């Protein structure tokens, strides 16, 4: 079957991944378009995180392909994918605990640094100028995710919700075209989930495509343009939230009704 690919989309075709005898993904095809928020839902163990790991290059794939626009990223390294514009967050935030919030986000912008390690050690004019730019951008991003009050706080003293927003800001520092978020609403308060919704809407407005892996289905159905539901490593349906919510296999398999 031939599938039309949206211009500049991140597209996955026929992805398969086995861990020993476990088929974590069996022929998964999805397309994430620029400027869309797409939810990825499914029961525990259905393959959501495996898909994110394969999109971001953490696991090699067994079969299938990954393209960003015309660029074949199927065998690309994590760094190559980051340079191509794919950023992600993790189920448990992976921050540098003893660095400040500002420093964590500045590190996310490493791609923009050209002065190199020696230049940074010698504090060359170029390194100082880059540092200033990275710091200004990090400040802007931290304000954008509601962490203006925590710039100089160590990452490990931040509350759980703050750490989640910090991780998103760090991902954005790489100026991605696509962001893969692994359960960003996990452990957030109602107010924080509302803030997360506002952040996702802002990303969409900037033309960034967001893949949102999330168990918080009310949030997913409310905020997403499209939702993909998977089970046992296979796509059940990809459609608008209303259609996915009403899909009989989704109701049976995922919502347990
Ligand atoms: N590194 C690994 N080694 C072995 N098996 C793995 C590995 N990662 C995932 N799996 C298996 O692959 C399947 C899919 O797991 P995955 O974590 O992708 O599911 P998930 O949908 O993200 O689950 P959850 O919602 O609980 O996070 C599961 O059976 C899991 O045990």
Q: Output the pLDDT for position 235.
A: 96
**Residue 17 Cα: closest atom of ligand 1:** 12
ipTM: 0.96
Q: Residue 71 is encoded by which pair of tokens?
A: 């660029």
Say how many Å lie between the CA of residue 147 and the centre of ligand 1: 32
**Residue 215 Cα: closest atom of ligand 1:** 25
Say how many Å lie between the CA of residue 233 and the centre of ligand 1: 10
CA distance 105 to 102: 5
Inter-residue contact 6 to 31 (CB < 8 Å): yes
| CA–centroid distance for 47 within its chain | 15
Mean pLDDT of the 114-140 span:
71
**CA of 60: how far to CAs of 52, 177, 179, 233, in Å?**
12, 22, 19, 16
Residue located nearest, by CA, to atom 11 of ligand 1: 24
Rounded to 10 deg, the angle between the 160-172 and 190-205 helix axes is 10
Query: pLDDT confidence of 171, banded at 50, 70, 90?
Result: very high
Residue of 23, 41, 43, 46 to mutate, ligand 1, most atoms within 8 A of C-beta: 46
Q: Which fold has domain 10-255?
A: Rossmann fold (3.40.50)
Q: Output the pLDDT for position 192.
A: 95
pTM to 2 decimal places: 0.90
Residue located nearest, by CA, to atom 12 of ligand 1: 24
Mean pLDDT of the 81-90 span:
93
At residue 117, does pLDDT exceed 80?
no
The phi and psi torsions of 208 (rounded to 5 degrees) equal: -85, 135
At residue 113, does pLDDT exceed 90?
no
At residue 88, does pLDDT exceed 60?
yes
Average the pLDDT over each of 32-36, 148-152, 177-181, 224-228 and give the range with the smallest value.
Answer: 148-152
pLDDT tens, residue by residue, 205-246: 999 999 999 999 999 999 999 999 999 999 999 999 999 999
Query: pLDDT confidence of 184, banded at 50, 70, 90?
Result: very high
**Residue 59 Cα: closest atom of ligand 1:** 1
Query: pLDDT confidence of 133, banded at 50, 70, 90?
Result: confident
């Amino acid at each position: 079957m031939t599938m039309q690919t949206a211009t500049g989309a991140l597209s996955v075709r026929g992805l398969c991944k086995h861990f020993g005898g476990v088929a974590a993904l069996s022929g998964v095809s999805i397309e994430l378009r620029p400027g869309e928020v797409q939810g990825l839902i499914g029961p525990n163990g259905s393959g959501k995180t495996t898909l994110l790991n394969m999109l971001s290059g953490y696991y090699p794939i067994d079969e299938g392909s990954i393209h960003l626009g015309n660029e074949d990223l199927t065998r690309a390294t994590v760094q190559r994918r980051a340079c191509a514009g794919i950023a992600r967050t993790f189920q448990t935030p992976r921050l540098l605990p003893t660095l400040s919030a500002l420093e964590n986000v500045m590190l996310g912008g490493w791609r923009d640094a050209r002065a190199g390690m020696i230049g940074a050690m010698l504090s060359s004019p170029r390194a100082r100028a880059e540092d200033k730019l990275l710091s200004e951008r990090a400040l802007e991003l931290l304000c954008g995710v509601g962490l203006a009050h925590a710039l100089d706080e160590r990452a490990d003293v931040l509350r759980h919700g703050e750490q989640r927003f910090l991780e998103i800001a760090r991902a954005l520092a790489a100026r991605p075209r696509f962001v893969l978020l692994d359960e960003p609403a996990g452990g957030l308060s109602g107010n924080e989930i509302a803030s997360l919704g506002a952040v996702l809407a802002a990303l969409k407005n900037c033309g960034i495509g967001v893949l949102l892996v999330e168990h918080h289905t009310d949030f997913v159905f409310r905020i997403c343009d499209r939702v993909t539901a998977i089970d046992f490593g296979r796509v059940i349906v990809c459609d608008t939230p209303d259609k996915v919510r009403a899909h009989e296999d989704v109701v049976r398999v995922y919502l347990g009704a």
